[in-house]
Amino acid sequence: MKDNRKNRVLDVRSNERHMTYKAKWERDWWFKLPPLVQFCLSYLWDYTDNGGFVSPERISDFNYKIFGTNEDKFLSEDYVLEQANSVKNIIRVAPDGYWLFEDYIRTQTNRIKLDCSQGIDRKQKSGNEVKGFVRPYIIHGVNPETIRGIKRIVVPNDDMLDVGEYGFNRELYDLVVSNRKHNEADFLEKLNSES
C-alpha cells in the first residue's frame, strides 16, 4: 500500500494564517537580537490572536519544544521581553499581562483608520475585519488608538453604544474617549504649568 502522507494538502484554518514582516531580515534591529530570541519571537508571532496578543506563558511551550528537559538552556519571559525591546519596541505588556506585538496590526492590514461607527458587536455592520482587529484590544484593555500603525479609530455612533449582546461598543467608546480626555487633561495641565 502506498503512503500518500507526503503529498497531502495542509489542513489550514483561517485562524492559523498570519502575515509576516519579511523585511525584518534586512533590518539592523532584527540582527541585533540573539538568534534564539529571534526564533522565540517568530514562534510567539505564530500564536498571536487577531490583534497581535500572545500569552508570555507560550515561552514555556517554546522551551520544551526546543530544549526538551534541558532546563539550563530555557529562555525566561523577562529575558525575551528585555531583549525584544532592547533595540526596538517590539512588545508591549497589556494590563492583563498578555504581550502585544506593536507592529502586528500594520503587518496584517493596510488600514490605518478603523471605522467602528456601525458597531463591533455581533451582527453589526462595521465589517468582520474591523471587528477582528478591534475586539482583542478591548478584551485586553488596550486603547487601539495607541497602537503603532493605527492613525484613528472611529468610535461607535451614540445610538450603537448600548446595542449588542457583548457590550463591545460601550467598552471601545470608554477605552478610546476616556484616554483622549486623559491626554487632553495632561496636555492642558502641562500647558498651564508652563505659562
Query: Residue 178 has which C-alpha cell?
Result: 476616556
**Around 160, how many Cα atoms within 13 Å sit in the side-chain half-sphere?**
20
* Averaged pLDDT, 178-192: 62
Those residues with Cβ within 8 angstroms of residue 148's Cβ, 6 or more apart along the chain or in another chain: 102, 103, 106
Model pTM score: 0.83
Q: Is the pLDDT of residue 63 over 70?
A: yes
**d(C-alpha 93, C-alpha 99), whole Å:** 5
Cβ-based neighbour number of residue 23 at 10 Å: 9
Backbone angles phi, psi at 113, to 5 degrees: -130, 130
Q: With the C-alpha atoms ordered 5, 8, 13, 16, is the resulting torsion angle positive or negative? A: positive
For 83, the grid coordinates are: 531583549
Every domain of the chain and the residues it spans = 18-105, 109-194
Q: Which of 60-64, 72-76, 160-164 is predicted with the least confidence, judged by mean pLDDT?
A: 160-164
DSSP state of 101: E
Residue 93's pLDDT is what? 96
The pLDDT value recorded for residue 187 is 55
What average pLDDT does the structure give for the chain?
Answer: 88
d(CA 85, CA 42): 15
Q: Which residue has the cell 448600548?
A: 162
3-state secondary structure of 166: coil
Report pLDDT digits (tens) over 109-142.
888 888 999 999 988 888 888 888 899 999 999 9
